[in-house]
Chains A and B, each alone.
Chain A
Amino acid sequence: MSNSERPNQLFRNLNAKIASIPMVLTALVVFVGGTAWTVLYSFTNSKLLPRLNFVGLDQYHRLWSTSRWLVSIENLLIYGVISLVFSLVIGFLLAALLDQKIRFEDTFRTIFLYPFALSFIVTGLVWQWLLNPDFGVQRVVRDLGWTSFSFDPLYNSSIVIYGISIAALWQGTGLIMCLMLAGLRGIDEDIWKAARVDGIPAWKTYLFIIIPMMRPVFITTLVIIAAGIVKVYDLVVAQTSGGPGIASEVPAKYVYDYMFFAQNLGQGFAASTMMLLSVVIVIVPWAYLEFGGKKRG
């Protein structure tokens, strides 16, 4: 490409570029601008109203010595690992099973995807009732005659986060299944035929041929799940409001509570900056590998 053609490059597809200006501006002002503002004010001692009175790293220091924040981080890690692993595994298994040209596939797909139509608040309430020892699963099993049966994850500090994860999986797995199914359908029939001719067992074909071919689908899924993990808030509020005690607190709830209940914007901003940082730590290496690699190839 010679130098004289450069300007052309800039004005190529001019209409499309003009059309995307509003979105570019929104992204810059709302997302980047808002983020920068939040990070800046996290170094101040703003209370109810934002004020530029810098106190250095005080807010962060306090944040990391608060036991509620540490509990929140731990919960987020547990919740994150569980929803990542299980929704991927279950979602893929369900998709693979549905892909066996079974009868009533549409019906099953609808059933599995249905929970996704419910908001987290509704999901949370439904599971709050199901897991309530007085009228949920525990009661039903006990009424069947198994009187020593005990299942009350939402009222037990040490396992409450798993109770919340159950609801999250129930709600989110259907979507993952659909994405995976779409990915599986995108695989050429001929690949399967070739594998069969070579006498490769089905599970091996999935593991070593199909899954590597579905890489883009997996990456999309991963981003969707990861975003869902970091921002988890309403599910916890609906199910336990952070309880018992502070056992099921999550970072997003810490941010909200300290910004609005405690009227301490600085502390809330510091916590949200830490959340952003954790996302950046995950995203940047991945983006580097993903997009940096294209230039080489």
Chain B
Amino acid sequence: MRYKFLTAAFAATVALNFAGPAAATDLEVTHWWTSGGEAAAVAELAKAFDATGNHWVDGAIAGSGGTARPIMISRITGGDPMGATQFNHGRQAEELVQAGLMRDLTDIATKDKWTEIVRPKSLLDSCTIDGKIYCVPVNIHSWQWLWLSNEAFQKAGVPTPKDWNEFVAAAPALEKAGIIPLAVGGQPWQASGAFDVLLAAVGGTDTFLKVYKDKDAKFAAGPEIAKVFKAADDARKMAKNTNVQDWNQATNLVITGKAGGQIMGDWAQGEFQVAGKTAGKDYTCLPGLGLNEVIATGGDAFYFPRLKDEAKSKAQEVLAETLLDPKTQVAFNLKKGSLPVRGDVDLNAANDCMKKGLAILAKGAVIPWTDQLLSQDSQKQKEDLFSEFFAKPDMSVEEAQKRFADIIASAD
């Protein structure tokens, strides 16, 4: 009897010792990366995290950020937090942090010298609230891209445009060839994002900042912005035959040559890659619509909800470190089509478009993005306005601009 007990105890200790260092902690990570290119990229993160001896439990939520964020937020506020979750860094998780629901990562950040490796600095700034760091940026996503299908322009018999103005001029030829000039999907954020890109490209960096950073309503009602609305009106006319909802369906129209182009962030590049298209040969990308070569430093970041479980908290730290690891950064961003958050990584495998982006980044031509400047509330009002504007041909430009100025006046 006693002998048996001892053996059992012994066996238990051995088992414990054995399990100690290799303990695989499950950590659920929620995100909204579900399109082909995105899923391939997130698999790289999971692989890197699993290699540390932990286990990445994938909590993908389909339907883009608009659908996913409410689910994530209600899980966190409802007391069922996940191990880590994606947000766009900036103001989306601001209140969750202020309510003390998110984990302070400052210690890990100082230990690993994040302030030195993360670039541009504004990325880490948008993770910082009251001097403490709450998120790990994983990539830089910029909206300022015009994706053009070379095949579509060939079919229409016009050269591939070099900037937005040439694109607008080429629209009638495309239409004649039965091609939709500009693909804009029906999801509200697409129309709103396209306008913001036009604002930065047609209006210029200062105009962009004056409207969204200084929230100058009088300026937003003025002639500078009227020019931008004129461009948005062109875009609306060019996009009127798009009958798709999701952004990747709209991108697919460009990939298959059914549409001439699309204003979409660099995540669209992942779709071109999955479809086996080559930058420069099959498609052309114009950062800043070819008019004003800047890129916005929006992007994705991981936030870590405060957890009671020791082992999981430990795993959170491991994940935070893994995400910024140079190897993970390269593998993830190549698949995703976004830019890495550290400047010291080797990106020789990057394609044409990514290299253009890196060059602009190196020049320092960066602007903050609306996720960082405006509250979700103002963003939503903007989305409502532009989805109405793009879907309603009889809504006048003047009326739209007036309502835009009202939104800016009450923006926070």
Contacts and interface: CB of A to CB of B under 8 A. Distances in A.
Interface of A: 47-49, 62, 66-68, 133-134, 155, 157, 241-247, 257-258, 260-264, 267
A262 B381 contact: yes
Nearest to A133: B243
Given A262-B377, A263-B375, A243 B391 contact: yes
B382 to A, nearest CB: 10
A111 B264 CA distance: 46
Interface in B90-144: 92, 94-96, 99
Contacts of B73: 48, 260, 263
Most buried by B among A243, A247, A267: A243
Given A48-B95, A241-B245, A67 B388 contact: yes
B70 interface: yes
A261 B66 contact: yes
Contacts of B384: 66-68, 246
B376 interface: yes
Interface of B: 66, 69-70, 73-74, 77, 92, 94-96, 99, 186-188, 243, 245, 375-377, 379-381, 384, 387-392, 403, 410
Nearest to A254: B384
Nearest to A68: B384
B191 to A, nearest CB: 8
Contacts of B69: 260-261
A262 B391 contact: no
15 contacts: A48-B94, A49-B95, A66-B381, A243-B186, A244-B391, A246-B388, A246-B391, A247-B388, A260-B74, A261-B66, A262-B376, A262-B379, A263-B92, A264-B380, A267-B377
Contacts of A241: 186-187, 245
Closest 7 A/B residue pairs (Cβ): A245-B391, A260-B70, A262-B380, A244-B391, A48-B95, A245-B388, A263-B376
Contact of A47 (B95, B188, B389, B392): B95
Nearest to A247: B391
Nearest to A155: B243
A243 B99 CA distance: 35
A177 B387 CA distance: 39
B262 to A, nearest CB: 18
Contacts of A245: 387-392
A37 to B, nearest CB: 15
Nearest to B391: A245
B212 to A, nearest CB: 17
Given A157-B392, A262-B376, 9 more contacts: A48-B376, A67-B388, A68-B384, A243-B186, A244-B186, A244-B392, A246-B388, A246-B391, A262-B377
Nearest to A263: B376
A7 B66 CA distance: 58
A157 B410 CA distance: 28
A257 B384 CA distance: 10
Contact of B77 (A49, A258, A264): A49
Contact of A261 (B70, B95, B96): B70
Interface of A is mostly: loop
Contacts of B245: 241, 243
A49 B243 CA distance: 37
A138 B375 CA distance: 42
A155 B389 CA distance: 15
A246 B375 CA distance: 21
Contacts of B92: 263
Contacts of A68: 384, 388
B95 A263 contact: yes
Given A67-B403, A68-B388, A49 B377 contact: no
Contacts of B187: 241
Contacts of A66: 381, 384
Contacts of A243: 186, 245, 387, 391
A243 B387 CA distance: 8
A144 B387 CA distance: 35
A281 B290 CA distance: 56
A221 B219 CA distance: 55
Contacts of A133: 243
A249 B377 CA distance: 18
Contacts of B390: 245
B72 to A, nearest CB: 10
Contacts of A258: 377, 380
A264 B389 CA distance: 23
A264 B377 CA distance: 6
A132 to B, nearest CB: 8
Contacts of B95: 47-49, 263
Contacts of A157: 391-392
Contacts of B391: 157, 243-247
Nearest to B98: A49
A92 to B, nearest CB: 37
Contacts of B74: 260
Contacts of B380: 257-258, 261-262, 264
Contacts of B188: 242
B388 A48 contact: no
Nearest to A266: B377
A140 to B, nearest CB: 17
B315 to A, nearest CB: 27
B186 A261 contact: no
Contacts of A261: 66, 69-70, 376, 380
Nearest to B191: A245
Nearest to A264: B377
Contact of B99 (A49, A62, A244, A264): A49
Contacts of B381: 66, 262
A41 to B, nearest CB: 14
A131 B402 CA distance: 35
Nearest to A69: B384
Contacts of B375: 47, 263
Contacts of B410: 62
Contact of B243 (A134, A246, A247, A267): A134
A157 B389 CA distance: 12
A287 B196 CA distance: 51
A266 B170 CA distance: 47
B389 to A, nearest CB: 7
A152 to B, nearest CB: 9
B237 to A, nearest CB: 15
A134 B380 CA distance: 31
